[in-house]
Each structure stands twice: as C-alpha cells, then as structure tokens.
Structure 1
Amino acid sequence: MGFADLALKGQVPADEALKVIVKEARRLQRLTNDILDVSRIDGGRISYMMEEIKLNDLVLNVINSARVNVGDRVSLKTAINTEKDLVIRGDRERLMQMLTNILGNAAKFTKEGAITVETGYSDRGKGDVVIKVSDTGGGIPGEVLPNLFGKFVTKNVGNENKQGTGLGLFISKAIVAAHKGSISAHNKDGASSQYRCLSMQASEHTSISLQNPLSFLS
C-alpha cells in the first residue's frame, strides 16, 4: 500500500498512484491465477471444455487484446488464411490463455520490431494445424532455451519492463498437451525467435487448402 499512503499524504499525484496500484493488483491476480493453474496441472485436476473453434477468429481476438500490452515499439501482425475457416476442437479460453502467454514471452525478448502470428496446416501433413509466433528480437538466450517451458525459467530474463510470473510457458505446454498437440521454440539465425505453438488435428468439418494464400494484416 506504499503508493496509496503517499497519495493520501499528497506526496504523489492520485492518478499516478492509482495506475501503480492497478498495475500491481493485476500482476498479483495473474500470479495467483498461474499458481492455481500450476497446482491443478500438477494434480491432474485442470478441466477443459471442448468445442469447435474458428482458429483465425481466436487468434485475431488475442492479438487485439494483446496490443495494449506490448508497447509502442513492437507491432503485432498476423499471417493467416482468410479464404476458409480453419476449425479446431478445443477449449477456447485455455487456447486464448496459451497464445496470450506465448505473445507475452515473445514481447519479453523483443524491445522493438514486430511479432507475427501465423496459422495454417503443419508441414508434416495429416490434417494437423499449427500456430507459429515469430519475433524480430535478439533471440532467446542460449542458457534459457533448453528449459524454456519449465517453471520460473523466464521470470528474470528478457525485457525488464515486461516481467511475468515465469509460469506462463509451463502452463501453455500443459494446455497444448491436453489438446494432443506439441509446442517448441527455437532461435533463427541468432537474431530472432520462433515458437511453434500448436500442432493438432483439425476438426473433421475443416476444409482448407495449403495452396490458399496467406494474408498479412497489421
């Protein structure tokens, strides 16, 4: 309550104190939610509500929500197939949580430039779909990369202005696994990083062609 006390004493402007208090309240809420999710994952108690989801709509919703958090120096872009709906079966809220965590982690390693989210079919075929997140940052530190999806691995690395709980990627990996998918990350030419966030079976109602062009939206 330090800033609240300072505001009450007139030592800092009330609006400045309120911004700090709200920011810290949200950080504590994220930490609490993440700890609860980790406890549920470790105990096998996390639940999922599966439904058919239009993947591109989900990605665009996450992008629009994330723009306010990445800062002015980083732009969010999409490279998605816009000719036909790419439909998957999954838990909408959990998949949005997963992608939000991935974008947040990409932002930690991207001080300026762009983060691009791409959707489409996996190159391994079999009707698998994939979400790829690429950034123009300096890449993920080599000592972090092997254990990137562990607990607290990224808590104190990356952009100091975008520190998180260090649990988001662990939770994201569990969410993807629950959808019978896989998740990985690698550096490209030492100058940027790419997350292959989701590789899972498309819904039987999906009809989409690899030959369809990708549309870049900013």
Structure 2
Amino acid sequence: MIDAPPPLWDPPRPRRPRLWPAWLGGSLSLLTVLAVAGIVIATVNAGRESRYSKSDVCAALDLAAITARLGVPAPEPQKSTVPGVCRYPVLEPGGLRAGGGGLSVTFFDNALAAWWSWQGQTSEDDGAREVDGLGRSARVTTEEAGVGSVTGCSVQLRVLDSNVTVLSQIVAYGDLASRPCDDLESVTTALIDSTRASLARLA
C-alpha cells in the first residue's frame, strides 16, 4: 500500500468575524448623531431667548459718557410718539442747540426674530465696522459733513442683542468747544459706552 503524499497547501480555516470594528463604527455614528442633536437643541434654545421685555427706553437711557465727551449739560430725554424711540438734544452750556441724538429699540418675541430682522438691516457694503464686546453683534459708521460755514459729524451704531435690535446715533456741530469732530473716534467710543450702559439698564 502506497501512502498518499501530504497536500501541498492547507487552506486556512474560516475565522470568526471580529465584532469590535462594527461596534466602533456604530459608536462613532451614535456620537455624531448626539453631537448634531446637541447643536440643534442649543440653537433652538438660543432662538427662543428673550432677555428684554418692552419697557420705557427713555428711562433706561444713560448719557453720562456722551455728556462727558462733548462737555455739555445732561440733556432731557424726549419720548417719541413711536414706541421704543427716545431722542435728546445736545445743548451748549448757554442753551444753544449744538446737535442731537437718539436711541431706538425694537423688541421682538424672541432672538430668532430679531436675528432675521438684523440680516435685513446690515450690509457688507455700508462702510460700517464691527464693534467687539457689544451685544451679539454691533456695527458702527461715522460721517463728517458741513453746510456752508457750519460743520458737523455723526456716529450711528446698530446693535443686535437677544430679542432686540438697537439704533443709537448722535449728531454734533463741529464748533462745540470740545471740538468733537476733530476726534470722531472718541465720540464713537462715548456712543458705544452710552449704548452699552443703556442696554444694561434696559435688560
């Protein structure tokens, strides 16, 4: 009896499939879903935020920074017939008018509604620059102008914060003793500080 030669190749035995790659892939997918869900929930909650309630804008107006910069007496805020709008005159110590300003606050039901309105108020081409540390977003523009021998300057500040949009502005004559138009950046800083303080009192 002749023995049969051993086989030239021994096929590998089938291995039991490993479970950890599938488990790892499933875990990563679950983490991704949870992360996306967390972002969605946070966004929805932020959209529902409404930090400000409708109140008297004139009562919240803080003009300390502006009067200090312009060197003028504290003006008497004047309520407008338009809700959320407060105006004030800029008067020289002798009582002559030397400009004016105002604060306009639009209240929305929630932050999402305010954000949608904000998108229609701002443009990349309006010459405004971003202001850090004021509300959720803020942009400011400055302008110098003159009519005949009368010169003047203005600063306009727009703010988005929670469920409100804000327009704060001031116009001053250039011949004020404090010479505001010679240093428009300091007037801008004063308006920003005034608006920040007013929003804090309004909240």
- The TM-score by the shorter chain falls in which range? under 0.3
Larger CA Rg, structure 1 vs 2: 2
TM-score, scaled to structure 1 = 0.26
TM-score, scaled to structure 2 = 0.27
